[in-house]
Amino acid sequence: MKWRIALFCLLGGLPLTISALGAGHFAWWWLSGILMAASFVPVALFGPRKGLGQFGVIVPVFLFVTVLCLWSEALIFAPDPRFGQHAGSILLSSIVMYTILAAVLAILGQLLKLSRPLEITVPHRSISSAALMVVLSGLAYTLYYLIFGSITFQFFTKGYYPQAEQAVARLGGWFWAIEIARGILMALAAVPVIQTLRMKRWQSAIAVGLLIWIVGGLAPLVVPNELMVFKQRMIHIVEIFTQNFTFGVTAALLVRPRSAGLSVQHPAPAADHV
């Protein structure tokens, strides 16, 4: 099983190297893809058993967390005007690339037969209760963003974003509405993962926290880019860990209710033949 997981990560990272054709940094793009594939290993092992179900769980995380939320953040704070000029094409190409990556990961999970036969009855909330938990998760993200983002900006990154305060002032109250919306979108993207992971509640929460951090911060930022110097990227990797990992754990614990005891069933061993 270990070699199959390693192969899943190595092969699963290759689709992102498409970006290296124009931007270079082949090894860094491959490493980014490997990290993203690794973050979905729990889904491949304990998520939906069918490839289509795996794709349906993976693609919302990529499209909302990796693409839309990072793109919108760069649109507000990126000091390089070239990003704003090409924002539409960047968004479209990112959607295509990460949809392909989601499909490749779902197919690899099936070809490598990673799905474990473990049966765990995962408790679910009612639709109205789950919707409330998603909104609360969005508010929690905004709180984490305010606390950790403010600390990072004041002490580490203020010099890199000379126009940030003016940009926030121009948006006024809309800035916080945007951040709450980003939190709600990320929580919605994580719901299929939370609801389908055949893992214990705390295990699921940690897996989701790591997933949201890796695809929403670590993996995209390991690749050199024209908008950020190395030190700046490393600072943001740590900052996003404090925000996204904490948010992912919170969202999983809110969306998935406590259970008095999980019903765990192991598949019956095959009968021995004489």
**pLDDT band at residue 269 using 50, 70 and 90 as cut-offs:** very low
Per-domain residue ranges of the chain: 2-258
**Contact, 219 vs 39, CB < 8 A?**
yes
**pLDDT band at residue 265 using 50, 70 and 90 as cut-offs:** low
Question: Mean pLDDT over all residues of the chain?
Answer: 89
Closest among 200, 150, 198, 155 to 175, alpha carbons compared:
150
Give 95-146 as a DSSP string. HHHHHHHHHHHHHHHHHTT-----EE------HHHHHHHHHHHHHHHHHHHH
pLDDT digits (tens, 9 = 90+) for 3-31: 999 999 999 999 999 888 877 899 999 99
**pLDDT band at residue 42 using 50, 70 and 90 as cut-offs:** very high
Rounded Cα–Cα distance for residues 133 and 255 (Å): 6
On the question of pLDDT at 271 being above 50, the answer is: no
On the question of pLDDT at 82 being above 90, the answer is: no
Rounded Cα–Cα distance for residues 149 and 52 (Å): 37
**Tokens linked to 124:** 């679910």
On the question of pLDDT at 195 being above 70, the answer is: yes
**pLDDT band at residue 74 using 50, 70 and 90 as cut-offs:** confident
What one-character DSSP code corresponds to residue 273? -
**pLDDT band at residue 261 using 50, 70 and 90 as cut-offs:** low
**pLDDT band at residue 73 using 50, 70 and 90 as cut-offs:** confident
What is the mean pLDDT of the segment spanning 100-113?
96
Which range (96-105, 139-148, 162-171, 237-246) has the least confidence? 162-171
- Percent of the chain exceeding pLDDT 70 equals 91
